[in-house]
Amino acid sequence: MKILVAIKRVVDANVKVRVKSDGTGVELSNAKMVINPFCEIAVEEAIRMKEAGAADEVIAVSVGPQACSEQLRTALALGADRGILVPAEGQVEPLAVAKILQALVVKEGIDLVIVGKQSIDTDNNQVGQMLAALCNFPQGTFACKATLKDGKIEVTREVDGGEQTVLLTLPAVLTTDLRLNEPRYASLPNIMKAKKKPIDTISAADLGVDIASRLTTLKVMPPVERSAGIIVESVAELVNKLKTEAKVI
């Protein structure tokens, strides 16, 4: 069984994001870049399935600039077998990413696709669902538990009212939520081994996918800074300020 895992290069969640002075986007120069946290969970889940003997190969794929090869190497160090880089500059829209993954599913003969439920930069939460529709695969979204059994995968999903368990026939698409697993750290020996693992470069054109953007970002701006809080001396003073200044009561 082959598992395809999609990973995205994003700014580290611990870094304070800065907006470019001209308002055209987020400042990425000199920013620490990492694998999107939800994608890291997807990589971990695929590796666990392989270690359990349920999968034969784990393929990591990333769509983006050449620098994405750094995150692919990280995925290889964690345990993926090989990587695929689809070069692209700028922001690639979710539908284009889904079409690229669909082409790779066909090309590689993929049995299970695992993606993060969303990226922490754009928060679209669209690629997994779009991919399932394009491939006509069953999907298990927001997964907090997944178990392979007899050519099927049982997925426990986080929903508004609690949890829902669904049984999907492979091939299928799985999107990961935070409680699915705790990603491991790459060991030094595995980091060294990852340098010898292959990363293939395939253009979107070779896959028959047009990645030209249909959306234009007009302006990016930071949120308005909140004013500092104040300390009041009594309940009466608090009530008075809520009435006269905040005007909420």
On the CB side of 176, how many CA atoms lie within 13 Å of its CA? 26
Q: Where is pLDDT greater, at 207 or 248?
A: 207
162-169 and 152-159 as β-strands: parallel, antiparallel, unpaired?
antiparallel
In the prediction, which pLDDT does 229 show? 84
- With 90 as the cut, is the pLDDT of residue 222 above it? no
Q: Which residues contact residue 27 at a Cβ distance below 8 angstroms, ignoring those fewer than 6 apart?
A: 17, 18, 19, 20
Burial class (CB in 10 A: 0-12, 13-18, 19+), 231: exposed
Is position 155 within any domain? yes
Is position 157 within any domain? yes
Q: Which residues contact residue 169 at a Cβ distance below 8 angstroms, ignoring those fewer than 6 apart?
A: 138, 151, 152
* Residue 60, domain extent: 2-223
In the prediction, which pLDDT does 135 show? 97
- With 90 as the cut, is the pLDDT of residue 86 above it? yes
- pTM of full prediction above 0.75: yes
Burial class (CB in 10 A: 0-12, 13-18, 19+), 191: middle
Q: How confident is the model at residue 226 (pLDDT cuts 50, 70, 90)?
A: confident
H/E run at residue 153: strand 152-159
Q: Where is pLDDT greater, at 171 or 224?
A: 171
Long-range residue pairs from 163-168, CB within 8 A, at least 24 positions apart, any chain? 166/138, 166/140, 168/138, 168/139, 168/140
pLDDT per position as a tens digit, 132-160: 999 999 999 999 999 998 889 999 999 98
Number of domains composing the chain: 1
In the prediction, which pLDDT does 28 show? 85
pLDDT per position as a tens digit, 26-75: 888 888 999 999 999 999 999 999 999 999 999 999 999 999 999 999 99
pLDDT per position as a tens digit, 182-206: 999 999 999 999 999 999 999 999 9
- With 90 as the cut, is the pLDDT of residue 172 above it? yes
Is position 52 within any domain? yes
Is position 191 within any domain? yes
Burial readout 108-122 (b: 16 or more C-beta within 10 A, e: otherwise): eebbbbbbbbbbbbe
In the prediction, which pLDDT does 246 show? 82
Is position 21 within any domain? yes
Sign of the CA dihedral running 14, 160, 223, 35: positive
Q: How confident is the model at residue 227 (pLDDT cuts 50, 70, 90)?
A: confident
- Asked if residue 171 has a cis previous peptide bond (ω within 30° of 0), the answer is yes
Is position 177 within any domain? yes
In the prediction, which pLDDT does 208 show? 94
Amino acid at 223: P
Helices of type H across 7-113: 37-51, 68-78, 94-108
Is position 144 within any domain? yes
Partners of 166 in the β-ladder: 155
Name the percent of the chain lying above pLDDT 70. Answer: 100
What is the CATH classification number for the domain harbouring 156? 3.40.50.620
- With 90 as the cut, is the pLDDT of residue 84 above it? yes
Whole-number average pLDDT of the chain: 93
Cβ–Cβ < 8 Å for 119, 7: no
Tokens of residue 246, six digits: 């905040």
Is position 114 within any domain? yes
